Structure 1
C-alpha cells in the first residue's frame, strides 16, 4: 500500500512539475495498453520496451496500468464479443492460421477472445487517450496549479525555510 501511495504522490509531483505534457500523456496512454493486455505476454514486453526506449514517463505508465487493469475487467464481456467476432471472420482465418504457426506469436494469446478484443479496444482508444490526457494535463496545470500557487497559504509556505530546504534537497538529490 505504501508503494502505491508513493507512486500516486510522485505522479502528482510530475503533474505539478515542468515535465512535458507529451511524455506524461504518452505514459498514461501506454499504461492503458498495459492495463488491457495480459500480465505476462509479448504485448506487455513490447509496450514495456517502448516505454524504456522512448521518452515516456515510466511512473505514469505503470500507475495508469494499475488503474486500467481494474477498468479492463469492466470491458471483458464486450471485449469477448468483439474478439469472438474478429476471430470468427472467415476472411481472416488464413492470417490467423499463419500467425499461429509462426514461433512466439501464439505466446501473444491472440486466439483468446478476451485478449483479442481487449487489444483491439486498447489500440483504438490509444490516440483518444493520448490527446485526452494531454488536454487534461494542460488544463490541470493552467487552472488548478495556478490557482493553488496563488493562495495565501501556499505563498506563506513557500516563504519558509523548510520549503527552501526542500527545494534545495530536491534539486540536488531528485
Structure 2
C-alpha cells in the first residue's frame, strides 16, 4: 500500500534552516518527486516610508496549527502533492529575519508551483496570526490585512488544478 502524503507543520519562535527543510522534503519522497518548490518569506517594512525595526507575531495556539493543516490538506486534494513542509515563526523578529517557509514536493513542477502559491495565499488570509510592527521611532502599530492578499487568495476559488 502506498504511503499517504504528509505535511509537517511547525509554529515556532526559533529560526529555521531552509536547506535542512528542503533536504527533508527531498528525502521524504524517496526519489519519486520530480519537483520541489520552496518559498521563504522575510520580515520587511510594512509602513510605507517608515523604517521597520521589528515585527511581533502572535498566534492562536492549536487553532493555528489546525488551520495550517487544513490548508495543506486542501493543497493535497487539489494537486498531486507528495509532501510539504510549512514553518511559521512567532514572537519578536527583526527586519530581514525569516518568518515563513512553505515547501512542496510533487512529481511535476506545475503542481508543485501551484500548491506552494496556494499554501502561501491561503496562509496569509486564513491562518490566525496577528502582526505588530515596531518602527525605528518606537511607534507600534498593528499590521492591517491587505485587500490585495484577499484578492490573491480568492483566485483559488475558481482556479482549476493543473494537469502537471
TM-score after normalising by structure 2: 0.26
Of Structure 1 and Structure 2, the greater strand share is in 2
TM-score after normalising by structure 1: 0.25
Bigger CA radius of gyration: 1
The structure showing larger relative contact order (alpha-carbon pairs under 8 Å, at least 6 residues apart) is 2
